[in-house]
Structure 1
């Protein structure tokens, strides 16, 4: 028989409390922020008791860290692991964000929490480092002369576009993508154009005109 629990109003509910807690955290942390969301409100939205919540998460800090891990556990695998795109196309695909893309949750968490030792802040930092690393690897595959520099430039551009989108309330990733294309083209050497007659192979001295013999 499946394990049951009782919610705040005493209703009997089936399994899935952990997922409801995480779902409520995504809604509330996004809409009103981490600091303004208390555990009482979160439990009410998730329809679980506080006792149940603390059985799944030792404290709110642990919940915030897990909330961030849920956003992109494989670090944009939908972009960087695509085999149907060239490395250059994968770099540009990192800027294909929906028009409704909000401020990056990792940036928002780091800004709100202030404490660099907070588990969520540490995870946000690790995620941002991982994004730059994946951009760097892809830039190297694309033939960039300085892939580390290009990776950091593109990572900074993604974060800037995300923050500006949130502040202005309008999509900024199309502009960021155009800037990214210019950076990528500047960082990747163009192949040398073929020289006239470059395919002709000569062996030995050039023939002497008949009039000079």
Structure 2
């Protein structure tokens, strides 16, 4: 019988390591933490198993190898592309564009993966590229809703600004998003035509 908070002997694998349900989530959680804190290339499979409290056999039952594990970590990071900003109906399109700078992670795992993995065909690099394109597309879509004269250009400008702020924050270990948000506000306001004054004549 299993009691809350108690791991029975049947749940333990070799050397007392835990197995069964929850092992996959522990592996992913440990991977996300280690990849973020010390980098992808510096994280070995033995260390992953130790932190996740699983045997190597259990790890390879869930993931074919490190490449697949890296890709899955990226897929789980933000699968719906910042829905807490772009899907909010209580914000105007302009507020959603600027809101991306308030919640965007300063330690972007997609940039980190692209820097550490040289192979452009690696599944993690492919996913990182797809994510960045999807992010720019959501910015472009929102820019179009906001009435931007050239939504594609504004979307790319904001995407580049976000990535630049993320990279600068990572390199300098200093917050760069406040400055980036101020620049974004100028870009957005310049890209969206001002509303015509009330009572203005129409030609």
Same fold (TM over 0.5): yes
Query: In the aligned structure 2, how far is the partner of 1:143 from the partner of 1:81?
Result: 18
- Higher normalized helix content (fraction of residues): 2
Select 1:184's aligned residue among 170, 188, 198. Answer: 188
Partner of 1:51: 57
Partner of 1:72: 78
Query: In the aligned structure 1, how far is the partner of 2:81 from the partner of 2:199?
Result: 43
Deviation of 1:167 (Å)? 1.5
Question: Do residues 114 (structure 1) and 108 (structure 2) align?
Answer: no
Query: In the aligned structure 2, how far is the partner of 1:180 from the partner of 1:160?
Result: 12
Query: In the aligned structure 1, how far is the partner of 2:154 from the partner of 2:51?
Result: 43
Deviation of 1:192 (Å)? 2.2
Partner of 1:130: 134
Partner of 2:38: 32
Select 1:94's aligned residue among 93, 100, 105. Answer: 100
Flag the structure with larger Rg.
1
Gaps of 5+ in 2: 3-7
Partner of 2:144: 140
Query: In the aligned structure 2, how far is the partner of 1:120 from the partner of 1:138?
Result: 27
Deviation of 1:7 (Å)? 4.3
Deviation of 1:133 (Å)? 0.1
Structure 1 moving runs of 4+ over 6 Å: none
Query: C-alpha offsets along residues 1-42 of structure 1, whole Å, 9 cap, x if unaligned?
Result: 899554452345552000000011011111111111111110
Question: Do residues 83 (structure 1) and 89 (structure 2) align?
Answer: yes
Query: In the aligned structure 1, how far is the partner of 2:164 from the partner of 2:156?
Result: 12
Question: Do residues 169 (structure 1) and 173 (structure 2) align?
Answer: yes
TM-score (norm 1): 0.86
Question: Do residues 150 (structure 1) and 154 (structure 2) align?
Answer: yes
Query: C-alpha offsets along residues 136-185 of structure 1, whole Å, 9 cap, x if unaligned?
Result: 00000000000000000000000011111112222111111110010001
Query: In the aligned structure 2, how far is the partner of 1:11 from the partner of 1:157?
Result: 45
TM-score (norm 2): 0.90
Tell me how many residue pairs correspond in the alignment.
196
Gaps of 5+ in 1: 200-213
Partner of 2:5: none
Cα pair 1:8 1:44 within 8 Å, conserved: no
Deviation of 1:190 (Å)? 0.6
